[in-house]
């Protein structure tokens, strides 16, 4: 699965992608995440599991579809199919700021060093680095900028409204 960062530290990815549920007897043990379509189709069966559960959103999926169940999910995985497609940035901000999701939000796909700082500002806290990305240099990306002007998921106020900074 490549290099994995969670909460700005190297980590072990314990989550397994899963799809193709035919009946509740085919559910694997452990922490799984399923595509949104699978979640909507088999929600009740998936909720009977005793392990952590997550949902994968393609960048064309509406995160509002998860609102009724966000308190039951531990992870939302956002797909970044290519660097020039930033729709998952908006999905992350909606999940954190509008819908109040407090679980992990993971970026997967074409996740590059140059995007990590901005992904974090949007509320993403876990990163499955793209192929060829170096873990050590990617960890430095979070500290490359020290001043932010706009409010975001990681800072409620714009710079001119922050006290003592």
What pLDDT is attached to residue 72? 95
Average pLDDT over residues 21-26: 63
Q: Where are the domains of the chain?
A: 4-161
What pLDDT is attached to residue 53? 96
b/e map of 149-160 (b: 16 or more CB within 10 Å)?
eeebbeeeeeee
Only one residue has tokens 């799984």, namely 32
Mean pLDDT, the chain, whole residue set: 88
Quote the radius of gyration of the chain (alpha carbons, Å): 16
Judged against a pLDDT cut of 80, whether residue 13 lies above it is answered with: yes
Average pLDDT over residues 83-108: 94
Q: What CATH class has 4-161?
A: alpha beta
pLDDT digits (tens, 9 = 90+) for 33-84: 999 999 999 899 888 888 999 999 999 999 999 999 999 999 999 999 987 7
Q: Which residues contact 27 (CB under 8 A, 6 or more apart)?
A: 18, 21, 45, 46, 49
């Amino acid at each position: 699965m490549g290099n994995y960062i969670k909460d700005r530290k190297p980590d072990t990815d314990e989550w397994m992608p899963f799809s193709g549920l035919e009946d509740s007897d085919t559910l694997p043990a452990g922490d799984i995440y399923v595509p949104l379509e699978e979640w909507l189709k088999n929600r009740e069966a998936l909720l009977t599991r005793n392990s952590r559960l997550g949902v994968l959103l393609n960048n064309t999926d509406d995160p509002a579809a998860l609102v009724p169940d966000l308190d039951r999910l531990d992870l939302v995985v956002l797909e970044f199919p290519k660097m020039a497609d930033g729709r998952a940035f908006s999905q992350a901000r909606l999940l954190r700021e509008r819908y109040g999701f407090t679980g992990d939000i993971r970026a997967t796909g074409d996740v590059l060093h140059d995007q990590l700082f901005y992904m974090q500002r949007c509320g993403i806290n876990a990163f499955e680095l793209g192929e060829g990305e170096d873990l050590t240099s990617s960890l430095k990306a979070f500290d490359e900028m020290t001043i932010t002007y706009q409010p975001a998921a990681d800072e409620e106020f714009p710079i001119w409204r922050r006290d003592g900074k």
